[in-house]
Amino acid sequence: MTTATTPEYGLKELQLESTLGGMGKETVRDVPLIDLTDFESRRSEIADQLWSAATEVGFFQLVNHGLDVKLVQSAFALSEAFFALPNDQKARFPLKKGLNAGWEFMSQVRPSTRTADQKESYQITLPHMDDLWPNQTVVPEFQRIMLDFEYRAWRLGMDVLSCFAERLGFARDFFTKAHDRSLPDYQSTLRLLHYLPMPEEDLDESLWRAGAHTDFDCLTMVFQKEGQGGLQVSPGKDAEGAGDNREWSSVIPRDDIITCNIGDMLMRWSDDQLKSTLHRVRMPKPGEYRGPRYSMAFFCQANKEVMIETPAGKYPPISAADYLLQRIQANFAEAKK
């Protein structure tokens, strides 16, 4: 990995996110629902809908997307089995520094909240998984099913990104080549998430399951479980309407729907045409389900050596490795204080 060339970018992002910690106002907002039925024959129509959603809102949901709900449920079941292990067992698969692979527990401190997210996670990034897979006696079938799920999520993500590629004037397979699974610098990640249960008596209004943030990648696809809500979105990552003046809308979880958002990398790659959107996972309110919350997210992140060069040249070229390094340094800076 080369060194970051413009660290002031990360500082700017840190300062921005630090203004976004307020509760804000909750409102009802429709998240665009996009039907992927007959994707190839309806490609132009679907691409129009994706472009409209991504340029106007930055968040959208996919239905009839081709991923079997039973496969998603199997992955969720294995995720729960892994997180149910004692911490000393999970600690045998520690997060590898700078490689986004392995297990972490409450290590992420958002600049927007300055408190640790109330969650644990396990990252699957293919080139770095040596010694990080629980074996058959620990969590049976974990590696096989997760690898299959990772591939299918990647394939779907590349279909979505191919629509954006053509609208940006790139070749249809432009982003597929930029997210090449066969190369050692591949860095797309499947992230399993377990948000901790929150008993009524332990409620602390200063805590968040995940503080307000934008993602670093090109495209994020989030899988949720019905009945386990909390995900909220607030279109627009700029500081206007920050803090308590921002409007937040809840995203109702459904087993058969994938919630997607544009990340910072694709926003830059598109000369800011595609909108990276703030989102968070709030704590349960009185009377709501307060048990554990599980989700899975697939992050489409371009391979490290790929150069991000924008169509109109609004930003200077930068490698995906350098870009992500800047964003990670900004988002985790608070944890080092």
* 195, β-bridge pairs: 119, 293
The angle, 0 to 180 degrees and rounded to 10, between the axes of the packed helices 142-167 and 43-56 is 90
What confidence score (pLDDT) does residue 147 get?
98
Position 57 scores a pLDDT of 84
> Topology of 27-335 in CATH?
Jelly Rolls (2.60.120)
279, 295 in Cβ contact below 8 A?
no
What phi, psi does 205 have (nearest 5°)?
A: -65, -10
pLDDT at 72: 96
Using an 8 Å Cβ cutoff, are 21 and 243 in contact?
yes
Residues 6+ apart with CB under 8 A from 105: 87, 90, 120
Strand, coil or helix: 63? strand
Cα-Cα-Cα-Cα dihedral sign, residues 174, 179, 183, 187: positive
Q: What is the pLDDT of residue 240?
A: 43
Residue type, 252: I
SS3 content of the chain, % helix, strand, coil (to 5): 30, 20, 45
> Which residue(s) pair with 298 in the sheet?
190, 221
Mean pLDDT by 10 residues, the chain (337 residues): 27 34 68 96 98 91 96 97 96 91 74 62 96 96 98 98 97 98 97 82 59 86 86 66 69 91 95 90 67 91 97 96 81 49
Contact 67, 159 (CB under 8 A): no
